[in-house]
Chain A
Amino acid sequence: MNGSTMSQSPETVIEFRRVSFRVASNHLLLSDLSLSVQRGETLVLLGRSGSGKTTTLKLINRLLEPSAGEIQVEGTSTLNWDPIRLRRSIGYVIQEAGLFPHFTVERNVGLVPQLEHWTPEKTHARAREMLELVGLPPDQFLSRYPRELSGGQRQRVGVARALAGDPPVLLMDEPFGALDPLTRAEIQREFQALQKRLRKTIIFVTHDTREALLLGTRIALLEAGKLVGVFTPDEFLHTPDPLVAAYVDAFRAGNGNAKS
């Protein structure tokens, strides 16, 4: 089922085919979304609160199921995947990290290996490796609890946890949204470097234009549950579309203020 064939260039990993999602109140959160994600790219879902970004993300790991249309992951509809298998092959990072407060950093990071019944030695080694990867010295951090970490450290542990099972796909829901600007910039840089090395397929939700331009290989702009368009960062800065232009204007205004 998870036949992650190591084939070459443009290969679709995730595909949305005319997907709609409505809640019980019949309110349409997502309408007729078609979108594909290529292997190794970082697709940013950009939009304001309530535009359907998080809904889109949760449809991929089947925390939500579509009301119409289908989502294919590795060529198989999410509804035909065993949801548990599907989720364990997709890393998931959310805002505030969602770390388990009663688990040490080691148990948090080793969660998926433990669920997959790796041996304790292998799980331990993996946790060390993952912490090193995100720049946290294992000896110092393995036995700590999440409450003993700073916001930035928690978020790093969140990323380490999501990567521990070596999933080909990573879903990130405003992972750096709650951090102070300095820590945020720092962790964004590290994340960029990490992505260059790991080449995961990443779907990244943010409402921050700057972050989208910095981290995305492509940017999908959502507005009120509809896809406005998909752009490379360069296209995004120069497209005549009025809504995109509004985002770019707001972004430039913000930058201008910061410089003056």
Chain B
Amino acid sequence: MDTLNFFVKNHGQILQLTLEHLWLVGISMLLAIAIGLPLGILLTRRRALSKPVIGAANIVQTIPSLALFGFLLPAPWLGERADRLAITALALYALLPVIRNTYTGILGVDSGVREAARGMGMTDGQVLLQVELPLALGVILAGVRVATVITVGVATIAAAIGAGGLGEFIFRGVAMVDNRVILAGAIPAALLALGLDLLLGLLERKLTYAH
């Protein structure tokens, strides 16, 4: 009851921080897709690169998020603004699932289908756009979905460097030893993750051809 009252009283701020959170996640994901998708495609063309690149993305993901924010702090242009820094770090985290799923999704396309496409006289670009990407779309979107859910969670830590988002409530609540404040950050963040997961799942089902 107490918590509910707190929510009602602070609904304006909760909404504002939720939007801020969504913005951090959205921009980071766009960035991760803009880099990860072409990179994943490139790796299917230059397979020798796949081990080092996916390995590097893997290592980035093992760095504790708080440490990654800290590492990026002294970087010249990035360190100037907290949101810039946060978005960069979040995009780096989201990169691995996007790259990996693009890569495995395209390689998973039936080799007979690929062979037929080339044999019928499709150019490399046509094979990619008309055959490989549409058939790999389900796997790629699954990667985006996983990355988005991870990013919603990690983005709460962005508040530690002053980038805003729902983490502000969580950090404040921990400092004040007040569960109501923690929950004001944690519950919307969890709902956001669930909602985005659901939404992307629907998109996945809609865009993927039925087997």
A-side interface residues toward B, CB under 8 Å? 58, 61, 63, 83-88, 92, 94-102, 111-112, 115, 145, 147, 161-162, 171
B64 to chain A: which residues have CB within 8 Å?
none
Contacts A101-B135, A115-B126 given; does A94 touch B112 at CB 8 Å? yes
A102 to chain B: which residues have CB within 8 Å?
134-135, 209
A200 to B131, CA, bound (A): 28
Instruction: Give 9 A-B pairs besides A94-B115, A145-B209, A171-B119 with Cβ atoms closer than 8 angstroms.
Output: A61-B119, A63-B115, A88-B121, A98-B115, A99-B116, A101-B135, A115-B122, A115-B126, A162-B120
Contacts A100-B113, A100-B131, A101-B209 given; does A63 touch B126 at CB 8 Å? no
Residue with the highest number of chain A CB atoms closer than 10 Å, among B110, B112, B116, B211: B116
Contacts A94-B112, A95-B112, A96-B112 given; does A147 touch B120 at CB 8 Å? no
A171 to chain B: which residues have CB within 8 Å?
119
Q: Does B179 contact A (CB under 8 A)?
A: no
Nearest residue (CB) in B for A58 is B119
Q: Chain B interface mostly helix, strand, loop or mixed?
A: helix
- Cβ–Cβ contact A112 & B121, under 8 A: yes
30 A-B residue pairs with CB within 8 Å: A63-B115, A83-B121, A84-B123, A85-B121, A86-B121, A87-B118, A87-B119, A88-B120, A92-B116, A92-B119, A94-B116, A94-B119, A96-B112, A97-B116, A98-B110, A98-B112, A98-B117, A99-B113, A100-B116, A100-B135, A101-B135, A101-B211, A102-B135, A102-B209, A111-B120, A112-B121, A115-B121, A115-B122, A145-B209, A161-B120
B112 to chain A: which residues have CB within 8 Å?
94-96, 98
B113 to chain A: which residues have CB within 8 Å?
98-101
Looking at the assembled complex, report how far the CB atom of A158 sits from the nearest CB atom of chain B, in whole angstroms. 8
B110 to chain A: which residues have CB within 8 Å?
98, 101
Interface residues on chain B, number (Cβ under 8 Å):
18
A63 to B110, CA, bound (A): 17
B-side interface residues toward A, CB under 8 Å? 110, 112-113, 115-123, 126, 131, 134-135, 209, 211
A100 to B120, CA, bound (A): 12
- Cβ–Cβ contact A63 & B120, under 8 A: no
Looking at the assembled complex, report how far the CB atom of A163 sits from the nearest CB atom of chain B, in whole angstroms. 12
B120 to chain A: which residues have CB within 8 Å?
87-88, 92, 111-112, 115, 161-162
- Cβ–Cβ contact A100 & B115, under 8 A: no
A58 to chain B: which residues have CB within 8 Å?
119
Looking at the assembled complex, report how far the CB atom of A108 sits from the nearest CB atom of chain B, in whole angstroms. 9
Nearest residue (CB) in A for B113 is A98
Looking at the assembled complex, report how far the CB atom of A114 sits from the nearest CB atom of chain B, in whole angstroms. 9
A97 to B112, CA, bound (A): 8
Residue with the highest number of chain B CB atoms closer than 10 Å, among A86, A97, A98: A98
Nearest residue (CB) in B for A147 is B211
Looking at the assembled complex, report how far the CB atom of B59 sits from the nearest CB atom of chain A, in whole angstroms. 31
A10 to B135, CA, bound (A): 44
B126 to chain A: which residues have CB within 8 Å?
115
A98 to chain B: which residues have CB within 8 Å?
110, 112-113, 115-117, 119
Residue with the highest number of chain B CB atoms closer than 10 Å, among A84, A85, A100, A111: A100
Top 4 closest pairs, chain A to chain B, by CB: A98-B116, A88-B121, A87-B121, A92-B119
